[in-house]
Structure formats: C-alpha cells, structure tokens
Amino acid sequence: MRKDESGICGWLVRPAGGHPWAVLGVVLAASAAHAARVTPDGGMDNAIVVRAARTWLAGGSPYDDPHFLYLPGAVLAAVPQALLPGAVLRVLVPCAVTALLALGWACALRLHRVPLRSRLAVLGLTGLAAGFAPFGHLVRLGNWTVTAAVALPLSLLLASRGRWTAAGAVVGAAVALKPLLVPVVLLFLFAGRWRALAAAVLVPALASGAAALLMPDPAGFFTRTLPFLLHADDGFVRLYEASPAAVLPRLGVPRALAEGAAVAAAGAGLLCAYARWRRADPGPPRLAETGAGLMLSAFLVSRPSYDHYLLVVLPLLLAGVPYAGSVARGPWFWIALLPQAPGLGWPWLESERRRAFKDAFTLGVLAVTVARRARAPETAAGVGDPVRARGAPVSPAPF
C-alpha cells in the first residue's frame, strides 16, 4: 500500500510525549476502578464461569446453568478464580480485562508495524477506552471475550512473521476457553497452512476432551449448551443480541425471514473474506482484513452476538489507519462507530434494552465496509510499509 510521509498519519506514527501516556493511564485506571465499584463479583459474565467452576468443585455439572456457554476447558481455567474471595475478584477481574485489552491493542499495532511508543499507540487505546462504549461494557462484565480480543491479533502477528503453527495454537487455545474464534480456522484453510489448521483444531479438541472426562456430564456442552444456542428463546438474552436474526424480529420481520437474511449476509461476508485473501497483496492489511471479515461474518449469524464482540476486530482495523486505502481511512468506518460514543443519546434508543439496534447498525456497517475491501483496487508501490513521518522510519522493533 502507498507510503505517505506527511499529513496526520505521519504525525501519528511519531513518538508520543509523556502527557498522552499519563492521560491514558488515568483513563484505564478510572475504567477499571469504576468497574470494581459497580460489580462486586468481578463482572456478571465472569461470575457465570466462576460459578460453574465452583459447581464442579462441589461435584455438580457446570452445564446445569443454561447461561454457561463455554467448553469444558473454561471450567478448569476458572478454578483459580473460584478459590479466591469475592473482594479480590472485584478488583482483579477489571484490572485483568483492561490489561488484556491493552495487550490486544499492542499486538494489533505490531501486526501493522506501528511503534508501540507512537502517538497512534497511546491515542488509539485512549479513544477505545473513553470513546467506544463496548470497551467499558466488557470491563464491567468481565466477559471472556477478552481472550479472543488478545488471541486474534496475536495469532495474526505470529502469522505475519511466518510462525503459522504457533498462530494456529494460539487460536486453538482461545477456542478452548471460548469458541468465539472458530471462524478464524478458515484463514488457515485459505492460506493452505495445514499444520496451523491442525493446531487450531487439535488444541481445543484435546483440551476439551480431557476436561470433559473430569465432568459429571462429559457431553453437557453438546446435549445442553448447543441446543440452547440453536433453539432456546431466552427473552432476557435476546434483548441484547446484535445479530440481524435477533434484531429484525423486534421490528416485526418474521423470524424465519430474519434468520435467512442473517445466513445470507454471513455467507456473502465469508465469500468477500476469501476474495480479500485471494487478492494476495503483501503486507499486514491482508491478514487483518481477512481475519476481521471472517469474524464479522460470523457475528452476523451467531447466537448470541453482543456489542463487546466488536472489540475482537476493531483494534485490528483501527491500527491499520497509517496504510493508504485501509478500512480505517474510509468514512463509513467512523460512521459505523458513531452510535457507540458514550453519552450520546439517540431518540427512542435511550433504553439499555434497545441498544441492540445501535449495535446492529455498527455491526452491519462495519461488515459491509470490510467486505468492500475484497474488490478494492491496488494502490501504489511501497506495499507492506505503514505511513511514517519523514526522518522517522518504522523499524522492525521486537514485539
């Protein structure tokens, strides 16, 4: 992609001073401290997994709780938390989620070869924490989506450095905790990286199989969780789902038609992600945009699909802003994010139970914006290098 050594993007990749970093520290600390104050159990979603682990330690089945939607490996991973007092979890979980989101942002930056000391590094994370509502939602909920928000950019970073098998293992480990990154397995298929594909499949399969043998209900995920995901009508959960299959029926569209539209949109997104990979232009945007396209396509059809799932793909796209022609350079990328600005009221959508309409708008517009990259024309020479300021080359600094 074309290299531009002037303008705002050149300014963004220069080193940041101390004041922006101090502001970022205050913003992240405030986000974690607020979550610790309002969530006494370390977050509602994290509490579900911890409760499942405690149920298992007491001899019960974690899958007795229909809202436990994780593979058996997550139960064992949550055991250390289950042994900690609530007062510790109240502080530990928001801090851990915030730190992991920062790590995911750092991986996205390094994927795009942007220095970690740059203005984009500090301003981008500050913007996500202070200007993107799902960031705060994820910190307060303590949802294990954060594992995918780290694993996806880390795996793509490893793949960009030729370490495809390690990338597959990272994806597999994340799937073993929460099966959110299953669509990324298709990226290894697109690339013909069979060892990476094997690692992405075998790691969660072996981990889940071994953990299931320790459960009183080894097949609980398949006999209880999958039927719940596919057929259950959970009125409370449905209010917060952003997929078209959940939002359109709330507008009067027949459910069968809504589900068909969601499947069609997801299929189209999958084809566009494959076409984006087939374009084969070198450089990090190819990996980032293909991975984001696969995940957004899945979010269009997956049940459930929440606003904080966007944090799995948004850092990957935002970190690519120094590249000419990147998704983050287009106006529709920013239009999609507008409903997620904290404190911005929207008529008839002020209720928390109606925010799914805003989330569906963001998800749909982002999915279309990324899908359009499948047919974007090639830009000028300098492929694979980010925009950089004159006299301040981007060096291949170690991760």
Distances (CA, A) of 348 to 239, 241, 250, 255, 355: 15, 18, 14, 23, 10
Q: Say how far apart CA 209 and CA 182 lie, in whole Å.
A: 17
pLDDT in tens, 10-20: 888 888 888 99
Residue located via tokens 């594909």: 197
Helix, strand, or coil (residue 316): helix
Crossing angle for the helix pair 194-212 and 72-82, to the nearest 10 degrees: 60
For residue 271, what is the DSSP state? H
Angle subtended at Cα 213 by Cα 211 and Cα 215, rounded to the nearest 5 degrees: 80
Residue 177 pairs in a beta bridge with none
In this structure, are residues 114 and 120 in contact, taking their beta carbons and an 8 Å threshold? yes
Q: How far apart are the C-alpha atoms of 48 and 38, rounded to whole Å?
A: 17
pLDDT of residue 392: 39
Single-letter code of the amino acid located at 353: R
The alpha carbon dihedral of 87, 90, 93, 98 has a sign of negative
For 365-387, write each residue's pLDDT tens digit. Answer: 999 999 998 875 544 333 344 44
At position 109, the amino acid (one-letter code) is: L
User: Average pLDDT for residues 315-334, to the nearest whole number?
Assistant: 92
34 CB-near residues (< 8 Å, 6+ apart): 136, 140
Mean pLDDT, the chain, rounded, equals 87
Dihedral (CA of 160, 149, 210, 218) sign: negative
- Tell me the pLDDT tens digit for each residue of 150-179: 999 999 999 999 999 999 999 999 999 999
Cβ neighbours of 233 (radius 10 Å): 8
pLDDT at 233: 57
- For residue 391, is pLDDT > 70? no
Q: Count other Cβ atoms within 10 Å, centred on residue 223.
A: 11
Q: Is 283 helix (H, G, I), strand (E, B) or coil?
A: coil
- Average pLDDT for residues 24-45, to the nearest whole number? 91
Tokens 């104050």, located at residue: 37
Q: Is 168 exposed, middle or buried (0-12, 13-18, 19+ CB in 10 A)?
A: buried
pTM score, two decimals? Answer: 0.90
- Share of residues in the chain with pLDDT > 90 (%): 66
DSSP 209: H
Q: What are the tokens at 282? A: 């070198």
Using CA atoms, how far residue 374 sits from 254, 299, 336, 382, in Å, is 31, 18, 19, 20
* Res 398: pLDDT: 33
Percent of the chain clearing pLDDT 70 (strictly above): 90
* Over residues 326-337, mean pLDDT: 93
Q: How many residues does the chain have?
A: 399
Contact 212, 63 (CB under 8 A): no
Amino acid identity at 158: L
